Protein backbone atom coordinates (compact mmCIF):
# COMPACT_ATOMS: atom_id res chain seq x y z
CA UNK A 1 0.00 0.00 0.00
CA UNK A 2 1.45 3.34 -1.05
CA UNK A 3 0.93 5.92 1.65
CA UNK A 4 -0.38 9.42 1.00
CA UNK A 5 -1.72 11.05 4.16
CA UNK A 6 -3.18 14.50 3.75
CA UNK A 7 -2.80 16.62 6.84
CA UNK A 8 -5.60 18.98 7.82
CA UNK A 9 -4.69 22.56 6.89
CA UNK A 10 -6.43 25.85 6.33
CA UNK A 11 -7.36 26.17 2.66
CA UNK A 12 -5.50 29.29 1.58
CA UNK A 13 -7.48 29.66 -1.66
CA UNK A 14 -10.72 29.60 0.33
CA UNK A 15 -9.34 32.17 2.76
CA UNK A 16 -9.25 34.64 -0.13
CA UNK A 17 -13.05 34.73 0.02
CA UNK A 18 -13.50 35.69 3.65
CA UNK A 19 -10.08 36.78 4.91
CA UNK A 20 -8.41 40.15 5.06
CA UNK A 21 -10.06 41.63 8.14
CA UNK A 22 -6.68 42.97 9.30
CA UNK A 23 -7.27 42.27 13.00
CA UNK A 24 -4.30 39.93 13.34
CA UNK A 25 -1.01 40.83 14.93
CA UNK A 26 1.58 42.80 13.01
CA UNK A 27 4.28 40.41 11.95
CA UNK A 28 7.23 40.62 14.32
CA UNK A 29 5.38 42.70 16.88
CA UNK A 30 5.53 41.57 20.49
CA UNK A 31 7.94 38.72 20.06
CA UNK A 32 11.04 38.27 17.99
CA UNK A 33 11.54 41.87 16.89
CA UNK A 34 14.33 41.06 14.45
CA UNK A 35 12.91 38.82 11.75
CA UNK A 36 9.69 38.48 9.85
CA UNK A 37 7.45 35.49 9.75
CA UNK A 38 3.71 35.16 9.74
CA UNK A 39 3.56 31.40 10.03
CA UNK A 40 3.32 31.50 13.80
CA UNK A 41 0.51 33.99 13.95
CA UNK A 42 -3.09 33.33 14.71
CA UNK A 43 -6.08 34.38 12.70
CA UNK A 44 -8.30 36.64 14.78
CA UNK A 45 -11.36 35.95 12.68
CA UNK A 46 -12.33 32.62 14.21
CA UNK A 47 -15.49 32.09 12.21
CA UNK A 48 -13.62 32.30 8.92
CA UNK A 49 -11.69 29.08 9.28
Residues forming the site for another protein (CB under 8 A) = 1-13, 15-16, 18-20, 22-46, 48-49
Residue 42 CB, shortest distance to another protein, in Å, is 6
Residue 23 CB, shortest distance to another protein, in Å, is 6
Q: Please check whether residue 23 is in contact with residue 2, taking contact to mean a CB–CB distance below 8 angstroms.
A: no
**Enclosing H/E stretch for 49:** none
Determine the Cα–Cα distance for residues 6 and 22; give it in Å rounded to an integer.
Answer: 29
Residue 31 CB, shortest distance to another protein, in Å, is 6
Amino acid sequence: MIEIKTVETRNLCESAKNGGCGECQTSCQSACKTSCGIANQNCEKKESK
